[in-house]
Amino acid sequence: MNLPAAHPESLGKLIARLSALHPERIELGLERTQRLLARLDHPERLLPPVIHVAGTNGKGSTIAYLRAILEAAGLRVHVYTSPYLVRINECFRLGGRLVSDDELRRVLEHCERVNQGGPITIFEIKTAAAFCLFAQQEADVVLLETGLGGRLDATNVIERPVAVVITPVSMDHMEFLGNSLAAIAGEKAAIIKRGAPAICAEQSPEAMAVIEAQAGRMRAPLHPAGQQWHVGVERGRLVYQDERGLMDLAAPKLFGRHQFDNAGLAIATLRAVEAFRIEAAAFEAGIVNAEWPARMQRLVAGALVEQAPPGSEIWLDGGHNAEGGRVAAAALGDLEERVSRPLVVIAGMMANKDAGAFLANFVGLTRHIVAVPIPGHDNAMPPDRLADAARALGMRVENAASVEAALQTLSRLAYEAPPRILITGSLYLAGHVLAANGTPPA
């Protein structure tokens, strides 16, 4: 597919214009995506083998491990993820690099012309653009992350993935996916396709029953954690075992006990696909080199770090639901066991999130919460409302006008030791922090 040169307008203006093609930012459904892909001569049918990933938490980290392992094995990998933190280019990785502004403008303008002004969400047209990009450039594997849910997500037009992955399912986006774990699991499990191996993280019994039923309907071999494969921590190392044997590997680079589970899920996926023959050395190289920003990421330098109390630790995590809060709190608990420090949580959340359920995870770790707004998002939770949720949990809370102001305030307080600071509650807040700190994803 040869595309004309990109128009010289800014990428931001183009995204804004495309975002106006549909009155809602999110409207689930496949019809608009299918219509556009048909007009584009079905680039989704020309892709390299696709590994399709859905779930509530851990999708991005699991994809990061998959990519790092595959690349360590010498394979060329395209990746589509969402949302982005600082630049939209982060959503599109072509054979090991982020898409350039010119490449992205060119393909989005092509999709815009072919769409002919029809109603379509920004995620849907962005997904079509990803398929066009991936069909144009050779690769061995495509790693494809669902945007929201699965059944009606624009990525679910892929008919024959080489494997599907279901990360842990929990309560989130109930306004779109349903008010029970069974309903949400049903939406996620709908990416399971006939005959394709389905690799599944540990789930609640309610979610697991739904996933097993869908795999049965699709006659898809199911590879559930704790049954067909196991991952654990022994002496600080990752130990993985399945019917093919045991691997004793170095610990993941990404921090937190949950990252052992995510790495194990990636290993199980690649071992379930017959076409892949990956050596243990590539598995280990991948898990120790995988990077995924804003998931218990330590910020060690940058403009914001300089505003924090001298000697303090700053951690950034985009967790935004109860389960995301749980794994971040568990990681902080591990840090506290190693080196004890007073903990302060700087939190900003979107208005549709359950602040109480999220913050409850930190009650045993800190009583000091600083509520902040999320710049540039009208649908962010007002800091007063977030503060009320913290007070209802018996936590000490104060408001700040920004993350920068919160860090400056903490610098004026007296601590018995330099504090450990977690900035959390939203990927949108995390993106703002990385941009303000001068350390955007590369």
Domain parsing of the chain, residue ranges? 11-289, 297-437
pLDDT tens across 300-354, in order? Answer: 999 999 999 999 999 999 999 999 999 999 999 999 999 999 999 999 999 999 9
CA distance 266 to 177: 25
Say if residues 61 and 262 touch (Cβ distance below 8 Å).
Answer: yes
- Whole-number pLDDT of residue 292: 95
State mean pLDDT over 366-394: 95
Query: Measured between alpha carbons, how far is 303 from 244 in angstroms, rounded to an integer?
Result: 48
- Which pLDDT band, with edges at 50, 70 and 90, does 5 fall under? low
Rounded to whole angstroms, how far apart are CA atoms 359 and 199? Answer: 31
Residue 8: the pLDDT is 57
Q: Which one-letter amino acid corresponds to residue 417?
A: A
Q: How far apart are CA 122 and CA 16, in angstroms?
A: 9
Q: What is the per-residue pLDDT across 198-235, written as a single tens digit (0 to 9) for each?
A: 999 999 999 999 999 999 999 999 999 999 999 999 99
Residues contacting 192, CB < 8 A, separation 6+? 164, 166, 198, 211, 214, 215, 218, 220
Report phi then psi at 248, rounded to 5.
-105, 110
Question: What pLDDT was estimated at residue 421?
Answer: 97
Q: What is the mean pLDDT of residues 149-172?
A: 96
Is residue 3 pLDDT above 70, yes or no?
Answer: no
Mean pLDDT of 274-284: 93
Bond before 8 cis per omega within 30 degrees: no
Query: pTM of the prediction?
Result: 0.93
Mean pLDDT of all residues in 25-41: 94
End-to-end CA distance of the chain: 27
The pLDDT > 90 percentage for the chain reads: 90
Average pLDDT over residues 19-47: 94
Predicted confidence (pLDDT) at residue 413 exceeds the cutoff of 90: no
Q: List strand residue ranges (DSSP E) for 210-326, in order.
A: 222-224, 229-234, 237-242, 245-249, 297-299, 313-317
E-strand stretches of 256-348: 297-299, 313-317, 343-347
Pairing of strands 245-249, 237-242: antiparallel
pLDDT average, residue stretch 365-376: 94
**Four-way CATH pick for 11-289: 3.40.50.300, 3.40.1190.10, 3.40.50.1100, 3.20.20.70:** 3.40.1190.10
Q: What pLDDT score does 221 carry?
A: 98
Q: How many residues does the chain have?
A: 442
pLDDT band at 172 (very low <50, low <70, confident <90, very high): confident
Which whole number is the average pLDDT over 369-393? 96
What topology does CATH give the domain 297-437? Protein-Tyrosine Phosphatase; Chain A (3.90.190)
Going by pLDDT thresholds of 50, 70 and 90, the confidence category of residue 440 is very high
Among 260-264, 351-355, 411-415, where is mean pLDDT lowest?
411-415
Return the pLDDT at 361: 97
- pLDDT of amino acid 173: 82
How far is 264 from 183, CA to CA, in rounded Å?
26
Please give the share of the chain, as a percent, with pLDDT higher than 70.
98
Decide whether 11-289 matches 297-437 in CATH topology: no
Which is more confidently placed, 275 or 108?
108
Q: What is the mean pLDDT of the chain?
A: 95
pLDDT for res 291: 94
Q: Give the pLDDT mean for 59-65.
A: 97
Nearest to 247 by CA among 279, 208, 294, 206: 279
Confidence of residue 416 (pLDDT cuts 50, 70, 90): confident
Per-residue confidence band for 176, with pLDDT thresholds at 50, 70 and 90? confident
37 touches 44 (CB < 8 A) = yes
Q: How confident is the model at residue 412 (pLDDT cuts 50, 70, 90)?
A: confident
